[in-house]
Chain A
Amino acid sequence: MQRIRLRYTKRGRLRFTSHRDFQRAFERALRRAEVPMAYSAGFTPHPKVSYANAAPTGTGSEAEYLEIALTERRDPEVLRRLLDESLPDGLDVVDAVEAHTSGFADRLTASHWELRLDGVEPEEARKAVEVFLAADSVEVRRQTKKGMRTFDTRAAVASLEVAPTGSDRPGDGPCAILRLVVRHLTPAVRPDDVLSGLRATADLAPPVPAAVTRLAQGPLDEETGTVTDPLAPDRDATPAATVPDGTA
C-alpha cells in the first residue's frame, strides 16, 4: 500500500466550502480520476483518506493537508495533476509527496495566517498590534460546543505584524493586512480570537468581517517564529530504491 500526502487550497469563492463539503467533493474527484484507492473494511467501505486540521468554513487556505492510501503505486506528481484537474477551480491540489514518515498530524504545530481588514487604517492596526504584543496575556471568551471558554490569545501568537498593503486589492478605502503565526493549542485559538484580543486590548474594531486566509501550516521554528514545510521530512526521506512508476 502506497500513502501519498497532498497539499490543497481553498481559494476565492470556494473558501465557503465546509470541510464536509470538501470531503464529498474530494471523494468524488478520486472516483472520477480512477485513483486506485484502498478502502476500509465493513458494510459501507470508505476510501482511506485522512484529513489534517481543516480550516473553518469561510476561511481561505493555501495549505490544507490530507493523506490517501492506494492499492497500486502511482507517481505523486502525476496523481497531483490528475486530482487537481478533477476538482473545481479554487480547490487546487498544489503539492504531493509519498509518505515515508509517521506522525504527520503532530508536525502541524502552527499556522501562518493573513487577515485582510477592510476599512481599517494600517497605522491604526500597527498601534493595536504593538499594544497586543506588549501584553503578557490577552484573554478572550468564546462560546464553544463545550460551553463558554476562555483563551489566552497572546500566548498562542508566535508572531504578528502589519504587512505592507498592496495596490491590487479591490475596492477603495483604507485596508490593513495582518500576518500572524498562531500555535495550534487545545482548545484551538483561531485567528478571529486574536482579532477579539486586538479589540479587547486596543479597541481595534474592523467595520466588516476580516477576510482570513491560511498561508501555511507546519512545524513552528521557535527561533524565527516561522512555519516550515511539513512535507519536508517525507521529501528528504525518499528512499533511493523506490521505482518510479505509474504505468504498472
Chain B
Amino acid sequence: MPVESVFPRLEALLPHVQKPIQYVGGELNSTVKDWDACDVRWALMYPDAYEVGLPNQGVMILYEVLNEREGVLAERTYSVWPDLEKLMREHRVPQFTVDAHRPVGAFDLFGVSFSTELGYTNLLTALDLAGIPLRARDRGVDHPVVVAGGHAAFNPEPIADYIDCAVIGDGEQAVLEITEITRAWKAEGRPGGREELLLRLAKTGGVYVPGFYDVEYLPDGRIARVVPNRSGVPWRVSKHTVMDLDEWPYPKQPLVPLAETVHERMSVEIFRGCTRGCRFCQAGMITRPVRERSITGIGEMVEKGLKNTGFEEVGLLSLSSADHSEIGDIAKGLADRYEDDKIGLSLPSTRVDAFNIDLANELTRNGRRSGLTFAPEGGSERIRKVINKMVSEDDLIRTVATAYGNGWRQVKLYFMCGLPTETDDDVLQIADMAAKVISKGREVSGSNDIRCTVSIGGFVPKPHTPFQWAPQLSAEETDARLEKLRERIRADKRYGRSIGFRYHDGKPGIVEGLLSRGDRRVGDVIRAVYEAGGRFDGWREHFSYDLWMECAERALAPHGVDVDWYTTRERTYEEVLPWDHLDSGLDKDWLWEDWQDALDETEVEDCRWTPCFDCGVCPAMDTSIQIGPTGKKLLPLTVVNK
C-alpha cells in the first residue's frame, strides 16, 4: 500500500515556524528508497532537535547500514520544536520523517536512540504525534514496534511502559538481526501478531522486551525480583558488541545538512570502548572492551568522508582519543596529508598529559592555537583517587606549562561536583589548581594575557558503574558548594580575573538522576510531565525543575517512594537494582569491589597495559581487547591528475 508524503500539508505550516530548513530533509548523502520495493521499514529517531540529532553518529551509522541492504528502508525523524508541534496538532499533521516525509506510524519499526535520559518526554511527544498509543500494551499489529537504543537504554525501566523493546550495546549488527526476524514474521503473514514478533526477538537473548518481565517489590519499596512471565524468555538480556571496527567503516557517506547543527564537522570514530576505569563514567564501563580502528582504516574513512561531504574539519572521536595505540602516527599522517587543504583536525576527549600537547600542536600546524580542554574532573588528589582519574597535580601543571609555552592562550578545565565522599575542601581546591595554572602560564608565556576557564557540573550516578550504589548530592548542597567555589575564585586578587567560572546548577542533575537510576514506577512521572507540557528537558529554556518535582510527588506517592529515594539514597550490596537483568558484561561483584576501592581511595590500572583485573566483560561477552600497533603508516595521498 503506498504511503503518502505529508509534505504538502507540512509545507503550509513552515512559513510560520523558526528555522523551517530543519524539517525539509534533502541533506547531501541522504537516501529515499521506494516504499513498496522494501519489506522492512525503519524510522530512526534522535529525540532532540534536528540541530543536535542530525550529527549523532549512532543514528547516522544505522541509517546507512540499513539503507545499504536490499529490501530495507530507513528514514530519520527528529523532535519538532513546540512551535511546529502546536501547528501539527491543529492541522493534524503526524510525526514525519525528514527523508520522504512519511508518517512515522506507517513504519514497521521505530528505533529511538537515547544518548541521555532527558529525551524521554520527547519520545512521548513523538509517539503521540505519530498516532502510536503511548503504552506499548495498547498497540496493535499495525503499529510500529518501538525499539530503544543508545547508552540510556542500559536502564530502560523508566520508559518500560512506552517502548516495545530495547537493545543494549552496539547497534550495527543488532538492527540487521531485528530486521531479518521482522522480515520473516511479515513474510509468514504476521502469525501471532505483535506478541509473537516480540517473543521471537526476545528469544534471541539480545532484545529486551519489558512486557515479558514482571517486577515484584518489597514492602519498603525496593525491588524483590524481576521475573520473565513467558517461557523461552531469558532471565538476563545481553549487550551487543561489534568486533573488528575495520569491517564496519560507517558512516561512509556522512550526512551533510543544510541547516546549521551543533557539530559542523565530519567525525571518524577511531576506537570504541575505554578501560581507563574512571568510576563515574558510564560510557567507559558499558562499551568495553577497547576496540581500535586501524590507522589505515582511519585514513581511508577520513579520505572518503571528506570527498563525500566537503567538510573542512575532521573530529577523531572516541572516549579518550589520545589513547589510540598509534595516535602519534595518525595525527602526523593526517596533518601531512591535509596540510595544504585547509582541513582542520580535532581530537576531542583527551587526557591531561603533556604528550597530548604535542598532538594538539601537530593538529594545529598552521592554525590558531586558541584553547585546549582537559578534564581533571576532581579538584583534589584525594577525590581523583576516589574516581580513579589518575592525574596528579604535577602532571596537570606540567601539561599546561607545555601548552602555554607552545603558544596556547586558554586552557579549559572540566570538573564535577557532588562526587562520592566529596567535601567542600575537595571542591575548593579547584580554585587553588586554577590559580597555579595561571601562575605557571604567566611564567612560561611571559604574558598576563592568558586564561583558565573552570567548567563544573553536578555528578549524576549512573547504572552499570561502581557508583551505581552511591548517594547523589542534593541540588541544594551542590549549589551551595558551587557558590563557595565561586566565592573563593572571586576572592583571589592575583589570579581571579584570569579565571573564568562556568557551572550548571544542581537541579537538572536531580531529574537526570531520577531518570538514570529509576525503575518502572518513574514512568508515570515522565508521562505526567509530558502531559503537563514538558518537552526538551535537555534545554535550559524548556526544562522545568518545579514541574518535574510536582509530577514526581504525585506519581510516586502511591508507591511510597519519592525523588530522594531514587537520587540521594545510598544503595546496599543486597539491593536488586532495576537494571540488574540487563547484562553489560560487568560482574556485579567486581563493580561492588571497585566501589569499595573507591571509598578506600584505591586506584585501578588500565587493562590495556596491565594484566586483566576481572571486570568480567570479555569472558561474559566472548570478546577481547583489540589494539595495535599495526606498525603501518599513512602514506601521502596520490596526487590527482590535473
Chain A complexes with chain B? yes
B28 touches A31 (CB 8 A): no
| Complex Cα gap A170–B23 (Å) | 21
Dominant secondary structure at the B interface:
loop
| Complex Cα gap A18–B26 (Å) | 14
- Which size class do A's interface residues fall under? 20 to 34
Which residues on the A side are within 8 Å of B259 (C-beta)? 21
A21 touches B258 (CB 8 A): yes
Q: Which residue of A lies closest to B23 (CB)?
A: A16
B20 touches A16 (CB 8 A): yes
A57 touches B20 (CB 8 A): yes
Q: Which residue of B lies closest to A89 (CB)?
A: B26
Q: Is B21 an interface residue (CB 8 A)?
A: yes
Which residues on the B side are within 8 Å of A45 (C-beta)? 342
Which residues on the A side are within 8 Å of B264 (C-beta)? 24
A58 touches B15 (CB 8 A): yes
Q: Is B515 an interface residue (CB 8 A)?
A: no
Q: Is A96 an interface residue (CB 8 A)?
A: no
Which residues on the B side are within 8 Å of A30 (C-beta)? 310
With A32-B308, A39-B342, A45-B342 as given contacts, are A25 and B12 in contact (CB-CB < 8 Å)?
A: no
Interface positions of B from 27 to 50, Cβ below 8 Å from A: 27-28
A88 touches B312 (CB 8 A): no
Q: Is B8 an interface residue (CB 8 A)?
A: yes
Checking B14, B260, B640 against A34 with a beta-carbon cut-off of 8 angstroms, the contacting residue is B640
Q: Which residue of B lies closest to A90 (CB)?
A: B26
Q: Which residue of B lies closest to A247 (CB)?
A: B642
Q: Which residue of A lies closest to B308 (CB)?
A: A32
Q: Is B444 an interface residue (CB 8 A)?
A: no
B14 touches A16 (CB 8 A): yes
Which residues on the A side are within 8 Å of B503 (C-beta)? none
With A28-B256, A88-B26, A90-B26 as given contacts, are A18 and B310 in contact (CB-CB < 8 Å)?
A: no
Contact with B along A26-58 (1 / 0, CB 8 A): 011111101000010001110000000000011
Q: How far is the CB of B306 from chain A (nearest CB, A)?
A: 8
Q: Is B450 an interface residue (CB 8 A)?
A: no
Q: How far is the CB of B401 from chain A (nearest CB, A)?
A: 25
| Complex Cα gap A20–B19 (Å) | 12
| Complex Cα gap A27–B260 (Å) | 14
B15 touches A28 (CB 8 A): no
Q: Which residue of B lies closest to A47 (CB)?
A: B342
Q: Is A204 an interface residue (CB 8 A)?
A: no
Which residues on the A side are within 8 Å of B640 (C-beta)? 34
Q: How far is the CB of B250 from chain A (nearest CB, A)?
A: 19
Which residues on the A side are within 8 Å of B494 (C-beta)? none
Q: Is B565 an interface residue (CB 8 A)?
A: no
| Complex Cα gap A248–B268 (Å) | 35
A29 touches B310 (CB 8 A): yes
Q: Is B7 an interface residue (CB 8 A)?
A: yes
Q: Is B368 an interface residue (CB 8 A)?
A: yes
Which residues on the B side are within 8 Å of A89 (C-beta)? 26
Q: Is B415 an interface residue (CB 8 A)?
A: no
With A27-B310, A28-B309, A39-B342 as given contacts, are A58 and B14 in contact (CB-CB < 8 Å)?
A: yes
With A45-B342, A58-B20 as given contacts, are A13 and B26 in contact (CB-CB < 8 Å)?
A: yes
Q: Is A9 an interface residue (CB 8 A)?
A: no
With A21-B258, A28-B256 as given contacts, are A209 and B15 in contact (CB-CB < 8 Å)?
A: yes
Q: Is A208 an interface residue (CB 8 A)?
A: yes
A32 touches B309 (CB 8 A): yes
Interface positions of A from 153 to 182, Cβ below 8 Å from B: 170-171
A16 touches B21 (CB 8 A): yes
B642 touches A248 (CB 8 A): yes
Q: Is A17 an interface residue (CB 8 A)?
A: yes
Which residues on the B side are within 8 Å of A18 (C-beta)? 19, 21
Q: Is A202 an interface residue (CB 8 A)?
A: no
Which residues on the A side are within 8 Å of B256 (C-beta)? 25, 28
| Complex Cα gap A45–B312 (Å) | 12
Which residues on the B side are within 8 Å of A82 (C-beta)? none
Q: Is B228 an interface residue (CB 8 A)?
A: no
Q: How far is the CB of B376 from chain A (nearest CB, A)?
A: 30
Which residues on the A side are within 8 Å of B14 (C-beta)? 16, 58
Q: Which residue of A lies closest to B29 (CB)?
A: A88
B26 touches A31 (CB 8 A): no
Instruction: Report 28 cross-chain contacts, Cβ distance below 8 Å, ordered by A residue.
Output: A13-B25, A16-B14, A16-B20, A16-B24, A18-B19, A21-B21, A22-B258, A24-B260, A25-B256, A27-B310, A27-B312, A28-B309, A28-B310, A28-B312, A29-B310, A30-B310, A31-B310, A32-B308, A32-B310, A43-B368, A44-B368, A57-B21, A72-B642, A88-B26, A90-B26, A208-B12, A209-B15, A209-B16
B interface vs A, CB < 8 Å? 7-8, 11-12, 14-16, 19-21, 23-28, 256, 258-260, 264, 306-312, 342, 367-368, 640, 642
* 3 shortest interchain CB distances as A-B pairs: A28-B310, A31-B310, A32-B310
A interface vs B, CB < 8 Å? 13-14, 16-18, 20-22, 24-25, 27-32, 34, 39, 43-45, 57-58, 72, 86, 88-90, 170-171, 208-209, 248
* Apart from the given pairs A16-B14, A32-B309, A32-B310, 9 other A-B contacts in the complex at a CB distance below 8 Å: A13-B11, A14-B26, A16-B24, A27-B312, A28-B256, A29-B310, A43-B367, A57-B20, A88-B27
